[in-house]
Structure 1
């Protein structure tokens, strides 16, 4: 059994993102960066995984299901979930799902896909 701290970062699935509104970012670049972040966290000794949300309608249930299945030590909610104003209600749902179903987890936030490890390390 591993003693590594369990970390999950929550973000939009690339199929749910309108990349025309995000200069210099594509689905391929996003996935590559997320995998790089996951690998970096694992190399730092964490047990990290990615949780994609697919729609505003299913975001809450997706997060609740994940929180019920795994006792995470840290949950990172990505900038794409919290920053664009149209996603504010999804962000609110995600925070409440984490708060209710993973009360032991620290919650952290990145500012872009490149500072995920630093965001996690602030709290875990």
Structure 2
């Protein structure tokens, strides 16, 4: 079974004062988007999970624990990538994923609602690669 991990900031831990966030963003809307994308992934026949991180130094350990399992694709959410204030967190997340799953494709969404499409782009690419290709 195809397994996809979505990494994102715990909705209640998002800094809503950040001007880079879309107007009207709330923890409830983020949580609903995460639930919807996990449902979309499961509807595609994939096993899907959400790795909920905080913006503090615990992020790498949380990611490392999730990466103890095998994943076919890892999607890194926009809440980590988009706000300019989150650049240092984004770097820590990328490096934690690189250390924990160096051969697993990384995908990026534009919103929680297109995370499954982001994963599908890379899962298709992996299916097109010859066995043993990197």
**TM-score for both structures, normalised by structure 2:** 0.83
1:39 Cα offset (Å): 0.6
Q: Which runs of 4+ in 1 moved over 4 A?
A: none
Matched, 1:95 2:94: yes
The aligned residue for residue 57 of structure 2 is 57
Deviations 1:16-43 (A, max 9, x none): 1123444122111111111010011011
Aligned to 2:122, what secondary structure does the other structure show? Answer: coil
> What is the root-mean-square deviation of aligned Cα atoms in Å?
1.3
Aligned residues: 120
What are structure 1's unaligned runs of at least 5 residues? none
1:45 Cα offset (Å): 1.2
Aligned to 1:76, what secondary structure does the other structure show? Answer: strand
**TM-score for both structures, normalised by structure 1:** 0.90
The aligned residue for residue 37 of structure 1 is 37
**Which entry has the higher C-alpha Rg, 1 or 2?**
2
Q: Is the CA contact 1:15–1:54 (under 8 Å) kept in the aligned structure 2?
A: no
